[in-house]
Chains A and B, each alone.
Chain A
Amino acid sequence: MSGRVLVGVKRVIDYAVKIRVKPDNSGIVTDGVKHSMNPFCEIAIEEAVKLKEKKLIKEVVAVSCGPQQSQETIRTALAMGADRGIHVEVTGKDYEALGPLQVSKIMAALAKKEDAQLIILGKQAIDDDCNQTGQMTAALLDWPQGTFASEVALEGDKVKVVREIDGGLETIKINTPAVVTADLRLNTPRYATLPNIMKAKKKKIANMKPADLGVDLTSRLEVLRVDEPPQRQAGVKVETVDDLVAKLREAGTI
């Protein structure tokens, strides 16, 4: 086993920023807005770095697909402990149309190229909430997947994953190579300490284009329109339970 783990890190609008829709409803405002690493990707990196610290794997490679600024996200991953980075350059219209299908094709190609033993991704990105990339990547590679992981344990050539599901927790054992997607409670990501930020400057980030990996970025989706959620309407106060039942019947909900 190569002992190499690929971790996908996505550059998204920072979670504390108030999102604004463009006046022409074609998308959201991203210019000049604070961006940072997707929180679930931080958890993914943390898990990979932890595995390396336990000496269960040998190398953590951080991958990001996007424009020049994605390199900042990779640098943050390096500052958290990743060994090297790969920046797959995607710009302009291609970047706007970049979705789970395209990214999973890229990840699959990289996994083969880098002979990865494990791919760890965040369960979803906080901008599109797709929750698809991990699953698609596993399917393209025909690898097993352990999604919504709240616990990951490497046991020989298998991975034990405790998954958070609606009914509670499900524990599965899958063969490696495998894809794991990180859920919120998997770990608490470390802060990039200042000495590690300095060390990260010396780590390498390789540049490549999707074409170099033989990946076709054509999207099957077209964004028609983006709208803000409807304004919250005022509620109505009722005096008795009977009134409540009557109002619910009126609204057709019961």
Chain B
Amino acid sequence: MAAPLVRILSKSCRQLSRPWDAWQAGWRSTSHRPATDVASDQAGVSFPPLQTYSEEENMMREAVKKYAQERIGPFVSKMDENSVMDKEVLDSLFEQGLMGIEIDPEYGGTGSTFFSSILVIEELAKVDPSVAVLCDIQNTLINTLFSKLGTAAQKEQYLSRLSTDMIGSFCLSEAEAGSDAFALKTRAEKHKDYYVINGSKMWISNAEHAGVFLVMANVDPSAGYRGITCFIVDRDTEGLEICKKENKLGLRASSTCPLNFDNVKVPEKNILGQIGHGYKYAIGMLNEGRIGIAAQMLGLAQGCFDNTIPYTRQRVQFGKRIFDFQGMQHQISHVATQIEAARLLTYNAARMKEAGRPFIKEACMAKYFSAEVATLTTSKCIEWMGGVGFTKDYPIEKYYRDCKIGTIYEGTTNVQLSTMAKFIDKEYDH
């Protein structure tokens, strides 16, 4: 009598998986990268690779990855089509603690680190770059400005709101002041203990939902950029008009609106930091925000890539998988290398900032490179998908449209390159 074989293997784990729409299954990152991330306090490796995360960072990343795929994934297509960020998505971002990552727990924040923010933005961008940019602006621009420059009263009033239910907007650009940001014309006239702001802003992200606006206005045009001051303006302030949002090519779920300031009265106590120092704050924050955008572009590229490779492994033409054609393999490997390089630039810039080392040149490199890589990746991914890549039934074309802004906003590619050149020039100064 034959001895029965003992099967200690379940036939298919998938029988017990949660309900999963076939289309959404494509959102899952199916790359089989080994889990060799060594916690930095283990293994006694003195110079661990860049892709080494603390246990906290690992847990955060896993939590956000799961959350993004399950709770943002189903909304992405609709939000893009209608150019509206769904309220449920916004609420869940706050609920998950993703809008106050570095804010101190005493203000209801998560109390984590800059690098954790970068990982969160990357994971969100893999699913929806629009949601990632909203989270990026909140964490790297708004929260940081309040945390670093706010008086105790300002922090008390705003930080707890920013971490729990209020979105912020950063208002610097104007119709005539984009790359040349300090040519801004919005005026703030001093009267006794308040200022009156007149002017208009353009390209303001998050404006549709923001509860607070950090407005860069000039209190003394004769002093040039040294008059630029940062004002905290609440949404319901009289005279502040949030105009109709732009109808954009990509990042459509992220609202981008012009703003009008018609004799907007702002009390003196609403000045963030010092008068005339606004330009410094803007530059400083944008240096950090740059790394956040690099993470967004990186996540975008990776998400697009992750959605494409499974298709190339399935699609058969001329009797073999299209992945197996040498031409395809070479292209795919080239793109994968670019993404890896972008990742290392981004992570390194983030770690340098955390270590308190000079990081501006590296941040510029990360943002410039990641944006270029996102453009390359998404373009190639559409090609690899063939005809279906060109249709809206698949998520690839959205990544293609979303990536273009990467080379433009938060410092155009040309500005990044010029900034880098200044640093390079100085390096040879002895």
**Of B56, B58, B116, which is in contact with the most chain A CB atoms at under 10 Å from its CB?**
B56
The verdict on B355 contacting chain A, using a C-beta distance below 8 Å, is no
Question: What's the A-B contact tally at a CB cutoff of 8 Å?
Answer: 108
- Residues on the B chain within 8 Å of A95, using CB: none
User: Which of B110-168 touch A at CB < 8 Å?
Assistant: 110-112, 116, 120
Given A198-B56, A226-B7, the answer on whether A193 and B95 have CB atoms closer than 8 Å is yes
- Residues on the A chain within 8 Å of B120, using CB: 194
Q: A196-B97, A201-B55 are in contact. List 8 more A-B contacts (CB 8 A).
A: A34-B35, A76-B59, A126-B16, A191-B96, A197-B63, A201-B56, A223-B8, A226-B7
- A binding-site residues for B, Cβ under 8 Å: 13, 15-19, 21, 28, 31-36, 39-40, 72, 75-76, 79, 126-129, 184, 191-198, 200-201, 221-227, 229
Residue of B whose beta carbon sits closest to that of A18: B32
- B binding-site residues for A, Cβ under 8 Å: 3, 5-14, 16-18, 28, 30, 32, 34-36, 55-56, 58-60, 62-64, 66-67, 71, 95-98, 101, 105, 108-112, 116, 120
Residue of A whose beta carbon sits closest to that of B54: A201
Given A39-B18, A79-B59, the answer on whether A222 and B6 have CB atoms closer than 8 Å is yes
Given A79-B59, A194-B110, the answer on whether A126 and B6 have CB atoms closer than 8 Å is no
Nearest-neighbour CB distance to chain A for B313, whole angstroms, equals 12
Residue of A whose beta carbon sits closest to that of B69: A16
Nearest-neighbour CB distance to chain A for B335, whole angstroms, equals 23
- Residues on the A chain within 8 Å of B56, using CB: 197-198, 201
Given A32-B34, A79-B63, the answer on whether A193 and B97 have CB atoms closer than 8 Å is yes
Nearest-neighbour CB distance to chain B for A133, whole angstroms, equals 14
Can you list 9 A-B contacts with CB-CB less than 8 angstroms, sorted by A residue number?
A: A16-B30, A19-B9, A39-B17, A193-B95, A193-B97, A194-B64, A196-B97, A198-B111, A226-B7
B55–A32 contact, CB under 8 A? no
Residue of B whose beta carbon sits closest to that of A39: B16
Residue of B whose beta carbon sits closest to that of A189: B18
- Residues on the A chain within 8 Å of B96, using CB: 191, 193-194
CA distance A160 to B59 in the complex (A): 35
A128–B11 contact, CB under 8 A? no
Residue of B whose beta carbon sits closest to that of A34: B35
B16–A184 contact, CB under 8 A? yes
B8's partner among A16, A128, A194, A195 (CB-CB below 8 A) is A128
Residue of A whose beta carbon sits closest to that of B36: A32
CA distance A128 to B16 in the complex (A): 12
A192–B59 contact, CB under 8 A? yes
A126–B36 contact, CB under 8 A? no
- Residues on the A chain within 8 Å of B60, using CB: 194, 197
A75–B59 contact, CB under 8 A? yes
CA distance A33 to B56 in the complex (A): 20
Nearest-neighbour CB distance to chain B for A9, whole angstroms, equals 14
CA distance A79 to B35 in the complex (A): 21
Nearest-neighbour CB distance to chain B for A6, whole angstroms, equals 23
Nearest-neighbour CB distance to chain A for B52, whole angstroms, equals 16
CA distance A75 to B62 in the complex (A): 12
Nearest-neighbour CB distance to chain B for A35, whole angstroms, equals 8
A15–B13 contact, CB under 8 A? yes
**Of A17, A75, A194, which is in contact with the most chain B CB atoms at under 10 Å from its CB?**
A194
- Residues on the A chain within 8 Å of B17, using CB: 15-16, 39
Residue of A whose beta carbon sits closest to that of B99: A194
Residue of A whose beta carbon sits closest to that of B29: A16
A127–B59 contact, CB under 8 A? no
B35–A223 contact, CB under 8 A? no
CA distance A132 to B53 in the complex (A): 37
Nearest-neighbour CB distance to chain B for A106, whole angstroms, equals 19
CA distance A225 to B105 in the complex (A): 52
Residue of B whose beta carbon sits closest to that of A124: B16
